[in-house]
Structure 1
Amino acid sequence: MRLSTVILPIHRWVEGQKIWRRAEDLGFHAAYTYDHLSWRTFRDGPWFGAIPTLTSAAAVTQSMRLGTLVTSPNFRHPVTLAKDLISLDDISGGRVTLGIGAGGTGFDATALGQEPWTPRERADRFGEFVPLLDRLLTEDSVSYEGNFYSAHEARNIPGCVQRPRLPFAVAATGPRGLRLAARHGQAWVTTGDPKLYENGTPEQSVDAIRGQVEKLTDACVALGRDVTTLDKILLTGFTPDRGRPLESLDAFVDFAGRHQALGFTEIVIHWPVPESDFAADQKVFERIAMEAPAQLR
């Protein structure tokens, strides 16, 4: 079981770089950031771009993996995203994972002046976005005409440091997204069942996530893939447990162990942000980072 963190892009770099360095010192497998233009209750405060933040983080860390949780088509185009990712993968020495999802109806969905896409349109776009991005990151030159995206002799030389390309961690719970994860993903990401967040129980959440894993397994079987070749990542903070797993080392080990039993290979916890949904005791958080992985082997 690997332990990773999400560092929200809310800090001016003079302070932010200290957090990314500390994350590596604590031994986190990876540090991710959210790829949004703004996000929820943080909308009216500082919020920086994901790719520049990760590029800067690559310059102040040595071995920790870096990535997005998650990038979406809401304001990204596969051609320009591919160029940024190849550059970031090179700068980091091949330490980048792309977390990618279909996106939602938040601020990103309308920031460019468009009407919010329906769930079906988001799924349609995602179904075109991921395969095209896969090609752009693995082929020297790509031409493509789709319903939503086009590429004309888009060149991406020399390609990724990681071969054949940097890994995709596909966030999905519906059948179409799970098929994309099974076909194109090196990892699958879930936050649990959002319908249980307000009034569900931890036990109901575990059952719901077990059902998601079973559907992922079915999607892999249909493609002739062994589901154990796909890493499974749980992004915490969105289940009915909320912040309770970070209240103590024992509470976290119990929480992580229940999900490890479902086949999860990586747990992601939010770097504490005071006076927010991600508030937590920094000392407890750091103890979890240093001691929990050994207890979950």
Structure 2
Amino acid sequence: MSLRLSTVILPHRRWHEGGGTAWTRAEQLGFHTAYTYDHLSWRTFRDGPWFGAIPTLTAAAAATERLRLGTLVTSPNFRHPVPLAKDLISLDDFSGGRITLGIGAGGNGFDATALGQEPWTPKERADRFAEFVPLLDRLLTEDSVSYEGDFYSAHEARNIPGCVQRPRLPFAVAATGPRGMRLAARHGQAWVTTGDPRLYETGTPEQSVEALRGQLERLGDACAALGRDPGGLDKVLLTGFTPDRGAPFASLDAFVDFAGRHQELGFTELVIHWPIPDSDFAMDEKVFDAIATETLAQLA
């Protein structure tokens, strides 16, 4: 099974002060996709610069030619499907059909209360996500959509001419629970995981591999229930959140070993963070460049 290598570039630098350089460099290094986080602010970056995902991807689309671009991930925390669909159709057009929408249920970070609401419980997030994804699917594939749900409404929402990619741009659905897995199986062209968060602090790499194996099996079950071949769904691991932490990025050999183990599990795409000095994503840039350019050849 072939493997792709992608990167996620945090939108924390002004475009004309180096923020745009990473995107063009990602294309030069041969990454399959360059994603960015769709947050209003994020973790330790909360009190520093942080720019919007859609404008950032629009600028990246203008600065690149072949590189796929996407969010990892967009969530209902501060998004509504109707204006989001219009932005995504526009972005897909600007990029010439190079956009992937990573989409998830969201969490209890800063986005969860930025609009003045109380943070939703896990069940409330799952309920909203279960309505958000199918409505967004319709908005991106139908010229006119009317809908009245428990959380979202659309009244003759027009989305002409639709996406460049047909029938719409691909969804990469982040999910680990049964309801999210069903959404990935029904609506996704890819499934995204960061591993089992319960293992991050005290788990082992071996336990992480077994947890990921279990997630992949549950995804297969969700596909089987819908009569879908799970082989037609890409499996994406966003790295940096498993118990390995920074160990796979210490050297090219270490990453090739990490990549090989996860390729054997069935993952088709690994996403690594663009290096940020003095952060959790600090990395020797020479090692990063070697990982980007040599990993796939080493695994061939």
Name the TM-score, length of structure 2 as normaliser: 0.98
Q: Is 1:92 aligned to residue 95 of structure 2?
A: yes
How far apart in 2 are the matches of 1:91 and 1:244? 38
Q: Which amino acid aligns with 2:20?
A: Q
- The two structures, once aligned, show a CA RMSD in angstroms of 0.5
**Structure 1: how far apart are the matches of 2:268 and 2:132?**
26
Give 2:162's match in structure 1, choosing from 159, 169, 175: 159
2:47 to 28, 44, 48: 44
* Unaligned segments of structure 1, at least 5 residues: none
1:267 and 1:161 map into 2 onto residues whose CA distance is 26
What does residue 265 of structure 2 align with?
Answer: 262
What do the CA deviations read for 1:222-258 (whole angstroms, capped 9, x no partner)?
0000000000000000000111111111100100110
Match of 1:119 among 122, 131, 147: 122
Paired-residue identity, %: 83
Q: Does 1:249 align with 2:249?
A: no
2:29 pairs with 1:26: yes
Partner of 1:261, secondary structure, is: helix
Residue 196 of structure 1 and its aligned partner are, at CA, apart by 0.3
Confirm whether residue 75 of structure 1 aligns to residue 75 of structure 2: no
Report SS of the residue matched to 2:146.
strand
Tell me the alpha carbon deviations over residues 109-128 of structure 1, each in whole angstroms, 9 at most, x when there is no partner.
Answer: 00000000010000000000
The amino acid that maps onto 1:172 is A
Distance 2:236 2:147 in 1: 31
Point out 4+ residue stretches in structure 1 off by more than 2 angstroms.
Answer: none
For 1:69, the aligned partner's letter is: L
Distance 1:77 1:244 in 2: 38
- Secondary structure (helix, strand or coil) at the match of 1:256 reads helix
Structure 1 CA distance, aligned partners of 2:40 and 2:183? 25
Rounded Cα–Cα distance in structure 2 between residues aligned with 1:286 and 1:20: 14
Distance 2:49 2:247 in 1: 27
Matched, 1:296 2:296: no
**In structure 2, what is the Cα distance between the partners aligned to 1:233 and 1:254?**
17
TM-score, normalised to structure 1, is 0.99
How far apart are the structure 1 equivalents of 2:219 and 2:181? 6
AA at the equivalent of 2:218: K
2:12 counterpart residue number: 10
Partner of 1:283: 286
SS in 1 for 2:265: coil
Aligned with 1:224: secondary structure?
coil
CA distance in 2, matches of 1:243, 1:46: 24
| Alignment size in residue pairs | 297
CA-to-aligned-CA distance 1:10-61 (integer Å, 9 cap, x gap): 0100111111100100000000000000000110111000000000000000
Q: Write the deviation string for residues 241-285 of structure 1: whole angstroms up to 9, x where unpaired.
A: 111111111100100110101110000000001111111001110
Distance in 2 (alpha carbons) for counterparts of 1:247 and 1:70: 26
d(CA) in 1 for partners of 2:225, 2:264: 24
